[in-house]
Amino acid sequence: MNKKSIQDIDLKGKKVIVRVDYNVPIKNGKISDNARIAASLPTIKHLLGQECAIILMSHLGRPDGEKKPEFSLQPTAVELSRLLGKPVAMAPDCVGPEVEKLALALKPGEILMLENVRYYKAEDDKKDKEGRKAFAKRLASLAQVYVNDAFGTAHREHASTANVAEFLPAVCGLLIQKELDYLGKAIEHPVRPLVAILGGAKVSDKIPVIENLLKKADKVIVGGGMAYTFYKAMGYEIGKSLCDMSLVDTCKNFLAEGAGKIVLPIDNKVAGDFDFKNMKLLTPLKTVLCSAIPADSEGLDIGEKSVELFRGIILSAKTIVWNGPMGVFECAETAKGTFAIAQAMAEATGKGAVTIIGGGDSASAVKDAGLVEKMTHVSTGGGASMEFLEGKTLPGISFLNDK
């Protein structure tokens, strides 16, 4: 998508309203993971360098249109102030006379954090489009330019993520620009071979992604729980493994269409019983070929032979996109396949390949493996990156001004 960014327009001295993604974990007023706040710093610092007056807005959780104190963005303003080493004022609301007064008085170089936009039902009301646009207009009235830097919510057509762009010059921030540069180029203009790695629990979550990537990629590796529906389509016994029977025929079609492209695990780690509530093995793991899963067992990870097969494909690629773990990575015994893939991607990066992690569980796995710095790009948006891989248009980006 050829969209304007904050580097493409004159922002000198302008009042700018920025949609950030500060939907961070907060307990008892304390933030346990500030990664999303830290990710917004390049954009904020660029705007400060342009002597902008900055108004930040975000959602936090699901307060369902009510002003609940536990969903206040106050802790994020405190954390941002700490990271920047300068004051960040906290507004009592996100719209209204008091907010308008604060925004009007905001001087170049100053930052104002608005309160949770989801305190208003109009923010994400799917039915009342006019009400949503009216709310967006109130937000837009606070500034002269709109910047969207919240890739994690770019797949939602909400007032603050999309509709504000209908009332102001609208560009993306540096975080979204980075996502577009890496994800967009990887799918539309990759250095080949392009390898896509898809995992996770359900085939149903990835059908549009598989459809799109079969057209774009040179190889599509399929692992995780979704592999077992493919095995079923091949006529294999899968025991108690996860399977979506309604999609067996769909997987048969994918296997026919993607002959030579789709690569499945050749062996799996299975167990007779697993406690998914506590993420704990109840019976020992054993490794079996994909065609020899016992009827009383379920697949929980890929085996060593699959790791070597996938590693070879990864190391021969020039562009690799990964979305979804290879097994139950929340348990140490069944996380080895996922971490081995992360390690292979880190090696590929070292050999000059472009390695992209498509957010969500894959990003968590790479972080747990301590390999974030060894990837070319780790996406900040799980749902957004998924829809990007599906080839969908993201409202939070499509509403921005074209170059």
User: Is 337 marked active-site?
Assistant: no
CA 248, 253, 257, 259 torsion-angle sign = positive
Q: Residue 299 catalytic? A: no
Out of 360, 381, 382, 396, which one is annotated catalytic?
360
* CA distance to 285, 343, 358, 369, 385, per residue, from 375 (Å): 30, 10, 11, 12, 16
Please state, in angstroms and rounded to a whole number, the distance separating the CA atoms of residues 374 and 357.
Answer: 11
202 catalytically annotated: yes
Out of 14, 36, 132, 206, pick the active-site residue: 36
Annotated catalytic residue: which of 4, 68, 202, 252?
Answer: 202
36 is catalytic: yes
**171 phi, psi to nearest 5 deg:** -135, 170
Cα 229 to Cα 223: distance, rounded to the nearest angstrom? 11
**Catalytic residue (one of 133, 383, 391, 392):** 383
Alpha-carbon torsion (79, 82, 88, 90), positive or negative: positive
User: Which residues are identified as catalytic?
Assistant: 36, 202, 360, 383
